[in-house]
Structure 1
């Protein structure tokens, strides 16, 4: 168990941020444990041929068999929505001694030998760090950035919007209670419990002491996790809400059955969108789910928002939509009084959205 002691002033420094670099590094877990991330299998298969052209021996070695990775690879994001290049610059500034220490500690916790590709370069950490940075940049650019990252970013944005709302409505106590089963909050201590032997041996208590606490959603964690190095700034990563929806983003469209009476009232395309927006989503995310253009979705979202059925929230450069209280009430199954006949074929509805 690793726990953080937060004083009253530290609570005001808690913030949320996602990290494209963290997602890039942690996505390598799929190479060792594909069954743990079923929602990502289709995506991994879609870029497999491109991955094979990269520095695969090094990339595969960055993730130990049991899912540990050197902490220097996932620095704390400098702001809520950093760019990949911005975080890569932080990685490249890692002190050489930290590179060596973290690689040794990672594989010691995992109980596995350091792979040959790392052990050959460990005596020249500057060269190793340069090669790691180049390999991750190529991996992100060729495999993740074209389609996967825009879809993943929408899920992470939706999580940030939800957490912000929970903090406003429930306060710190309620926020931590909803974060993950491994996270607990009591008497000023925020605890992350990990039952893996390597992490238990490194258990420690650390004071935040004004450094700030960052909570970061990820698509590649089975439970909350934090850095094992005492050098790290306070950071807890946790499974992103809605990560299972990533399975819906690979060449498929999502079918949502709206109440028939609602479809008759506002039209099938808009009723379908209302069904999708139980959780916040961007126009781009909805377009991916439906297999249509963002422009086709945007005009329906504007109409639903004007009617008071959706709430529009800006998060950085993104705009998120989700159902309002009125939208929830209209989409409730109890609002469907019978099975009105369809006025259009399913194909026509899809083309209209």
Structure 2
């Protein structure tokens, strides 16, 4: 199937980019639901799947609503008001969704499932306002377990993509950028053609402009959202996905050790992926108590963040720590 989205001068003027947490929530959950997780994300999936199973999130609302293929519920990806909305803003928009949009999404899901919905989704169809808060709570839990410990890393890739394409817009124009988004997206004489689509998307069904959303988990496809009177959304694979999960430091930064101390520099180097105090102690050869003290100091300095996973706490490097390590590599 091929979709054709026409553009006026005003539509081009209202084309913009955004980084949205919910697109990463939805597409990452879809990646986990696949029979084979896409190659770039298998290491991440190996880390988060046991956490989700322990919390029962592999069989909850999201599991019912997000299939490995086919339609993704539009109400889970509300149109962002800013270029970088916070998760709380998007969750508030989801909780306030028009019940008719929820029912429309569920009807489309049912059409792909022999007109059958699970008991949970039938109850949502009957009374969306009663169940949307439960969905929001589950998304918050999923975010804590699967996304928050990695968000600094993911967001840096998404922001770098927007920076690159924004510079292209300034140098070569919006039409050229649209032409180069993805091999299934083509710009042709005032319209955007999308091939290999699961559904149609037209100006009759959507509002003005276009919202372009880079995503690390949408790869290798382009995904769309089409809601009447709202700008259409196009989520495309961000540049740099191939390096997203590569180790960010390969050697111990001796020059940084002279600044913050050998133990703290070692801990930062070991935090290439979210890790517990016990694991850090085993890797570094330091005592658990010593690691805990150093992590407290590093967190106070904005170099680490903490993320509760069940009874455990994972520590992750922040973007500031990454920049510090890179400067002293």
Q: Give your verdict on TM over 0.5.
A: yes
Larger displacement relative to structure 2 (168-177 or 152-161): 168-177
What is the aligned counterpart of 2:216 among 198, 214, 219?
219
SS in 1 for 2:93: helix
Alpha-carbon distance in 1 for matches of 2:151, 2:204: 34
Q: Encode CA deviations 1:87-115: one digit per residue, 9 max, x unaligned.
A: 11111110112111111113424667423
Mapping for residues 319-330 of structure 1, pairs under 5 Å: none
Q: Name the residue aligned to 1:325.
A: none
Q: Which structure 1 residue ranges, 5 or more long, are not aligned? A: 257-267, 270-283, 302-351
Q: Name the residue aligned to 1:328.
A: none
Residue 168 (structure 2) pairs with residue 166 (structure 1): yes
Deviation at 1:10, TM superposition (A): 2.1
Alpha-carbon distance in 1 for matches of 2:325, 2:248: 19
Alpha-carbon distance in 2 for matches of 1:194, 1:231: 24
What is the aligned counterpart of 2:94 among 91, 95, 100?
91
Larger displacement relative to structure 2 (229-238 or 150-159): 229-238
Mapping for residues 232-243 of structure 1, pairs under 5 Å: 232-243=230-241
Distance 1:208 1:69, change over 3 A: closer
Q: Name the residue aligned to 2:3.
A: 2
Q: How many residues align?
A: 268
What is the RMSD computed on CA atoms of the aligned residues? 3.2
Residue 167 (structure 2) pairs with residue 141 (structure 1): no
Q: Encode CA deviations 1:200-250: one digit per residue, 9 max, x unaligned.
A: xxx2531699733211111222222212544543211111111122231xx
Alpha-carbon distance in 1 for matches of 2:325, 2:41: 31
Alpha-carbon distance in 1 for matches of 2:122, 2:322: 53
Residue 19 (structure 2) pairs with residue 22 (structure 1): no
Alpha-carbon contact 1:155-1:243 (below 8 Å) kept: yes
Alpha-carbon contact 2:249-2:272 (below 8 Å) kept: no
Distance 1:68 1:255, change over 3 A: farther
Alpha-carbon distance in 1 for matches of 2:189, 2:205: 14
Alpha-carbon distance in 1 for matches of 2:245, 2:169: 28
SS in 2 for 1:28: helix
Alpha-carbon distance in 2 for matches of 1:254, 1:298: 11
Deviation at 1:194, TM superposition (A): 2.4
TM-score, normalised to structure 2's length?
0.71
Alpha-carbon distance in 1 for matches of 2:144, 2:129: 23
Alpha-carbon distance in 2 for matches of 1:292, 1:93: 34
Alpha-carbon distance in 2 for matches of 1:208, 1:173: 22
What is the aligned counterpart of 2:324 among 293, 298, 301?
298
Q: Encode CA deviations 1:242-296: one digit per residue, 9 max, x unaligned.
A: 1122231xxx45669xxxxxxxxxxx99xxxxxxxxxxxxxx9xx959x988558
